[in-house]
Structure 1
């Protein structure tokens, strides 16, 4: 186990690199990075990525201190849990294991960019959704004071390990096990709410629990790519308004996570009500901004790439199982650029997405920071803030 008192040099070097990269500007946050030992939040160990979706467990107490310190202060996300339960010390073999990451220590550059975007001030109270390892919690506590920070994680094991790590460095804050989408009413209202997980939409409970003038910062999106960091300010009228401040990717909040669409995809898309040529090919969704626009338009839809038969060209799908709707895309027989779309179910998924993407193109294809949003109790409202943008607004009703 690395002694935190021996990593002062590494912490200062990390802060210097973050400042040089533009992720760190504020002297108070720099002092927090220099004070908080990240390695204390990586026990019992981490999973390192290996080919073919496998992960190699690396235990803190079995790793030489110099190697562990280099890893802890590298600017990378470090996976600490797989499949909702498996931690590195529970792996039965040191060999790589399969699994899906469900908890991690986010790369420090992203942590600091988000904390600086939160624009905290002395004396404010903050709610953190997604405690994770507790590293970002410790940074918040250093900045605001441990009694002004409440952190919530849905996983009892994750919350317990984070609380133990916080206590190990002398921080006693409000660590809560529960569904972060519900916030934490007993300690409300808050001046700042920050989520270290992705959500399909901002829960209105967060708006209710934020003081007028307070800020909510969270990732919108449920796909592996194409997430947007939303920053909204809560108004006295109970609404919240703001914009997407940049691209970002986070693990999905477990309460909103959807199981992957598997099985017989052809059967799922068997009954189409319409078929036509597309005006925007589905390959546009490989780009970050179109992907976030699609997710804001149909937040419950999943993007799936698959081959339906041996030797057949790849097909792309949008599935919204809860609404029994789908869109299936296939390239033309002679020209792969000529795609067709078959749609079925009560919702024409691609019609909705395509309208927004066409308006975005007409506006000159601005970046994600052109997207504005307003949150009410009943809906999320979106629009493009661009001098070239047509008068297009769209919404997603919560009921």
Structure 2
């Protein structure tokens, strides 16, 4: 069973020094298997020990069935991007993209002119990114709208990841507190970090 974040009840009910082993999943993909040590009933810290295990999402944490209204063809601003949607399907870059967009889902749709567009929609704030080939067919362009520039977030965190040597998922760790869950790279204090959705303590 995969979870988007660690339910707080798991931490609260585990004795200090006890272990929590869970598969973290997002709505885009699986993140990996994480092993956490509960420190004092208020904190848990650990690292990913395996990447991309195939577990179904826990039912109460599944994505909403309705995608909502799709952005119109003239919504948002268009720009070039060095990254196409293929990175979402790759194990390591997909891991980083899921961290950058924890509430996003994606699907492909064929436009009226026959070209395939990849939609990325954020279920929390209605932000969107639509990826398609550029006019020459050799590069990519993205059309973004909403309060958060989704694909710009991906580009930013990919740059940080590449600067660190493009490490595998096992270089990442996780810290869990009552009101904050973070995935971090290399060092929990000084490394780049990403916030995960806080799960209610059921």
Q: What count of residue pairs does the alignment treat as equivalent?
A: 196
Residue 124 (structure 2) pairs with residue 319 (structure 1):
no
Richer in helix (by share): 1
Note if contact 1:380-1:395 (Cα within 8 Å) is conserved in structure 2.
Answer: yes
- Provide the alpha-carbon RMSD of the alignment: 2.5
- Higher RCO by CA contacts (8 Å cutoff, separation 6 or greater): 2
| Residues 261/342 of structure 1: CA separation in 2 closer, same or farther (3 Å cut) | farther
Matching residue of 1:355 = 156
Deviation at 1:207, TM superposition (A): 1.1
- Distance in 1 between residues matched to 2:160 and 2:114, nearest whole Å: 36
- Distance in 1 between residues matched to 2:124 and 2:89, nearest whole Å: 24
- Distance in 1 between residues matched to 2:75 and 2:130, nearest whole Å: 11
For structure 1, which runs of at least 5 residues remain unmatched after alignment? 1-196
Matching residue of 2:47 = 243
Matching residue of 1:381 = 182
| Residues 384/283 of structure 1: CA separation in 2 closer, same or farther (3 Å cut) | same
Note if contact 1:277-1:341 (Cα within 8 Å) is conserved in structure 2.
Answer: yes
Q: TM-score, normalised by structure 2?
A: 0.84
Deviation at 1:233, TM superposition (A): 1.0
- Distance in 2 between residues matched to 1:375 and 1:297, nearest whole Å: 18
Note if contact 1:280-1:357 (Cα within 8 Å) is conserved in structure 2.
Answer: no
Of 175, 198, 201, the match for 1:398: 198
Of 34, 37, 46, the match for 1:230: 34
Richer in strand (by share): 2
Q: TM-score, normalised by structure 1?
A: 0.45
Matching residue of 2:94 = 291
> After TM superposition, where is structure 1 displaced by more than 4 Å over at least 4 residues in a row?
260-264
- Distance in 2 between residues matched to 1:259 and 1:216, nearest whole Å: 27
Deviation at 1:347, TM superposition (A): 2.1
Deviation at 1:270, TM superposition (A): 5.3
- Distance in 2 between residues matched to 1:256 and 1:241, nearest whole Å: 22
Of 256, 269, 274, the match for 2:61: 256
| Residues 394/222 of structure 1: CA separation in 2 closer, same or farther (3 Å cut) | closer
Residue 17 (structure 2) pairs with residue 213 (structure 1):
yes
Matching residue of 1:203 = 7
| Residues 310/331 of structure 1: CA separation in 2 closer, same or farther (3 Å cut) | closer
Note if contact 2:101-2:150 (Cα within 8 Å) is conserved in structure 1.
Answer: yes
Note if contact 2:27-2:62 (Cα within 8 Å) is conserved in structure 1.
Answer: no
Of 133, 140, 153, the match for 1:331: 133
Note if contact 1:226-1:287 (Cα within 8 Å) is conserved in structure 2.
Answer: no
For structure 2, which runs of at least 5 residues remain unmatched after alignment? none
Deviation at 1:251, TM superposition (A): 0.9
- Distance in 1 between residues matched to 2:80 and 2:28, nearest whole Å: 27
Note if contact 1:230-1:244 (Cα within 8 Å) is conserved in structure 2.
Answer: yes
Note if contact 1:225-1:288 (Cα within 8 Å) is conserved in structure 2.
Answer: no
